[in-house]
C-alpha cells in the first residue's frame, strides 16, 4: 500500500513470469526501480514507471595481498542453498570431477537461515551419494564482512555465478571485482555485469520450473516462473577454462569496481526521484 503521495520502490526480481499481484505493486509506486535490466524489461511490458539501477561494489571488500592455499586451485560457492541457485547440482558436478583430488579445494558458504541445519546436511549428503570428500569444505555462517573478504581473497575460481536466476548476485560480482575468475550463467542479472572479457560465461541449456515447495510455490501470488539451467558438459568446459585462466589476475574483472559503485547507484536513484517529483 502507499504511505504517501510520492512512493518509490527499489526491488529485486529473479524469475520470468510477473504475477498480477507483483505487477499491481509495481504500478502502485510513483516509480519502481529494479536491480537488473532483465527485471525492468519484464515489468515494463505492463507498466511505464519502471527503471533499472544496478548495485555497486562494497569497499568493505579489498585485496588482502595474502597467500592462502599454496599449490592448490581453490573454488568457492556462496549464497543460500536453493534449487534456484543450483547449489547441490554444482557441488555434485564438482565432486564428480575433482573429488578427493588434493590439487583442488572447494569451499562452500551455503547456509540458509530458513532451513534447519539437519535438513541442509541431509540434502548435501544425498547430493553426494552419502560420500565424504576430503577436499570439500563447508563453512558456518560468517558474521562479518571482514570474514567474507578473507574467503573471497582465498579463492581462485568462483562458481556462485552458475545460479539459475538472480537479482544481481553479489558474491560472484564481488569475487570478480577482486580479480578472481567467475564461472557465470549468461542470464538474468548476470548480463548486466558479466561478459566474455571478465568472466567464463556458460550459456543456458534450457529453462526449468523454479518451484521447490519451500521458497517458490506454484500458484502463489509471488515468484512464479522458470529458472535457467546448464548442462554437465558446459560445466566441465567452463571450469577447465577457469583453471587455465586462474594463474593470472582478472584485470577486466577489477575494472568493474570503477563502473559499478554505490555512489553511482545513489545518483541514479536520486535522478529518478527528482525527475518524477
Q: What is the pLDDT of residue 277?
A: 58
* 139 pLDDT higher than 80: yes
Distance, CA of 58 to CA of 55 (rounded, Å):
9
Pick the range with the lowest mean pLDDT from 6-20, 212-226, 263-277: 263-277
Domain segments of the chain: what residues? 8-56+261-276, 73-258
Distance, CA of 122 to CA of 128 (rounded, Å):
10
Distance, CA of 180 to CA of 82 (rounded, Å):
24
Top CATH class of 73-258 equals alpha beta
Q: What is the pLDDT of residue 94?
A: 98
- pLDDT per residue as tens digits for the range 171-191: 999 999 999 999 999 999 999
Name the percent of the chain lying above pLDDT 70. 99
Q: What is the pLDDT of residue 1?
A: 77
Q: How confident is the model at residue 4 (pLDDT cuts 50, 70, 90)?
A: confident
Question: What radius of gyration do the chain's Cα atoms show?
Answer: 19
Q: Are 63 and 71 in contact (CB under 8 A)?
A: no
* 110 pLDDT higher than 90: yes
* 275 pLDDT higher than 90: no
Q: How confident is the model at residue 125 (pLDDT cuts 50, 70, 90)?
A: very high
Q: What is the pLDDT of residue 245?
A: 97
- The SS3 of residue 239 is helix
Q: What is the pLDDT of residue 38?
A: 98
Q: For the stretch 136-166, what's the b/e string if a residue is b when 16 or more beta carbons lie within 10 angstroms of its beta carbon? A: beeeeeeeeeeebbebbbbbbbbbbbbbbbb
Distance, CA of 271 to CA of 268 (rounded, Å):
5
Extract the C-alpha cell encoding 221.
501470488
* 266 pLDDT higher than 80: yes
Amino acid at each position: 500500500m502507499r504511505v504517501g503521495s510520492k512512493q518509490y520502490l527499489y526491488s529485486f526480481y529473479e524469475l520470468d513470469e510477473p504475477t498480477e499481484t507483483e505487477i499491481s505493486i509495481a504500478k502502485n509506486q510513483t516509480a519502481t526501480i529494479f536491480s537488473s535490466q532483465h527485471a525492468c524489461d519484464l515489468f515494463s511490458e505492463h507498466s511505464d514507471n519502471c527503471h533499472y539501477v544496478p548495485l555497486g561494489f562494497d569497499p568493505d571488500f579489498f585485496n588482502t595481498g595474502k597467500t592462502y592455499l599454496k599449490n592448490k586451485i581453490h573454488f568457492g560457492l556462496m549464497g543460500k542453498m536453493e534449487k534456484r541457485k543450483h547449489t547441490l547440482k554444482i557441488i555434485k558436478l564438482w565432486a564428480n570431477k575433482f573429488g578427493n583430488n588434493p590439487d583442488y579445494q572447494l569451499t562452500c558458504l551455503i547456509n540458509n537461515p530458513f532451513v534447519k541445519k539437519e535438513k541442509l546436511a541431509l540434502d548435501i549428503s544425498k547430493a553426494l551419494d552419502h560420500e565424504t570428500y576430503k577436499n570439500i569444505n563447508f563453512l558456518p555462517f560468517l558474521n562479518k564482512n571482514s570474514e567474507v573478504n578473507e574467503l573471497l581473497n582465498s579463492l581462485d575460481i568462483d562458481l556462485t555465478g552458475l545460479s539459475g536466476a538472480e537479482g544481481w548476485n553479489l558474491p560472484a560480482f564481488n569475487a570478480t571485482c577482486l580479480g578472481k575468475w567467475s564461472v557465470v550463467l549468461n542470464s538474468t542479472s548476470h548480463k548486466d555485469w558479466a561478459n566474455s572479457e571478465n568472466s567464463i560465461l556458460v550459456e543456458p541449456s534450457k529453462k526449468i520450473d523454479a518451484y521447490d515447495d519451500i521458497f517458490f510455490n506454484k500458484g502463489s501470488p509471488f515468484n512464479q516462473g522458470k529458472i535457467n539451467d546448464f548442462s554437465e558438459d558446459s560445466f566441465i568446459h567452463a571450469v577447465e577454462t577457469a583453471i587455465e585462466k586462474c594463474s593470472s589476475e582478472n584485470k577486466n574483472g577489477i575494472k568493474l569496481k570503477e563502473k559499478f559503485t554505490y555512489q553511482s547507484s545513489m545518483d541514479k536513484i536520486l535522478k529518478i526521484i527528482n525527475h518524477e517529483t
